[in-house]
Structure 1
Amino acid sequence: MPFNFLAVLVASLSTLLVGFIWYNPKVFGTIWMKETGMTEEKAKNSNMVKVFGLTILYSVMLSFIMTALTIHQFGALGMIGGPDFIATAKPSYAAFMTDYGDAFRTFKHGALHGFMSGVFIGLPIVAINSLFEQKSWKYILVTAGYWIVSMTIIGAIVCGWK
């Protein structure tokens, strides 16, 4: 089962598309700016190469690990020691992959696991940090909502794109 780097890259870039929509002033951008104290002037003075470059890097990292969270066959691969050990794996591994190699490899299944990851990983991380930073619940919901939607899409892409 080869690793799909193109799916990881596309999934990573999807976070930018979601962000452009999610943080648009007509969607949640105005609320987010008010809750963070961001102004148009402050935004224009940002180092956008740094912001978008690191956003893509972190999104690649998130998309990379999302493959392990959404594609169950990686668990079987891990049990034999990884890709380097496929040739020396016991016949039961080959039989398992023959029987279940594409099981649950759908966009729908990946979206489910991506959504669950957003709710059970993304939301708690955003909420805990925000509580200590004394951010509002509006901020928490807007920011966590972005990550729930993004992780749902990432999960769908990396799991369903074979």
Structure 2
Amino acid sequence: MEINYLAVIAGGIAAWVIGSLWYSPLLFGKAWQKELGMTDDDLKGANMPLIFGTSLLLMIIMAFGIAPIIAAHGDDMAWHHGMFHGLMVGLMFIATSIGINYLYQRKSIKLFLIDAAYQILIVVIAGLIIGLWR
């Protein structure tokens, strides 16, 4: 089972870039803030370099987690295997885990859709990159 570590890092970076857009005012940032009851002032007090740096590291770790699943295809590994496994991990593990937590935390379905769709998307994209770049 061979893993392309540059592809894994690229998948993590791609996830981080997508998150920067997903949670920006251009896409779902304002809706996300509203569902959490956060204001722009709440965000200003955050240590953004720590948050962004740590989230990038965690996304790279997430890409490392999916890489062996994709690499198990061996020489038959292709982009569609990466996307498929990313989709399955995203739907069956990540989204369900978020959903369970949000049920107990009594978070809104809208917040669940914003966060879970993002998580599914980034694992699919990371899987695509890992599957393509072998």
Q: What is the TM-score with the length of structure 2 in the denominator?
A: 0.92
Q: Which residue of 1 aligns with 2:62?
A: 62
Secondary structure of 2:75's partner? coil
Deviations 1:105-150 (A, max 9, x none): 1122201110111111111111111111110000011100000100
- For structure 1, the 5+ residue unaligned runs are 74-100
Listed as ranges, the gaps of 5+ residues in structure 2 are none
Q: Quick one: which of 56, 60, 75 aligns to 1:102?
A: 75
Amino acid at match of 1:102: D
Equivalent residue letter for 1:157: I
Alpha-carbon separation, structure 1, partners of 2:47 and 2:6? 27
Alignment correspondent of 2:22? 22
Based on CA coordinates, which of the two structures has the bigger radius of gyration? 1
The answer to whether the aligner puts 1:113 opposite 2:47 as a matched pair is no
Equivalent of 1:128 in 96, 100, 107: 100
Could you tell me which amino acid in structure 2 is paired with residue 6 of structure 1?
A: L
Q: Distance in 1 between matches of 2:82 and 2:26?
A: 29
Provide the C-alpha distance between the structure 2 equivalents of 1:138 and 1:20, rounded to a whole number of angstroms: 19
CA drift of 1:2 comes to 3.9
The separation in 2 between residues aligned to 1:61 and 1:133, in whole angstroms, is: 26
Q: How many residues align?
A: 134
Contact 2:14 2:125 in 1 (8 A): yes
- Quick one: percent identity of the two aligned structures? 34
Tell me which amino acid in the other structure corresponds to 1:109: H
CA RMSD of the aligned region, Å? 1.4
Where do residues 134-145 of structure 1 align in structure 2 (5 Å cutoff)? 134-145=106-117
Moved over 2 A (4+): none
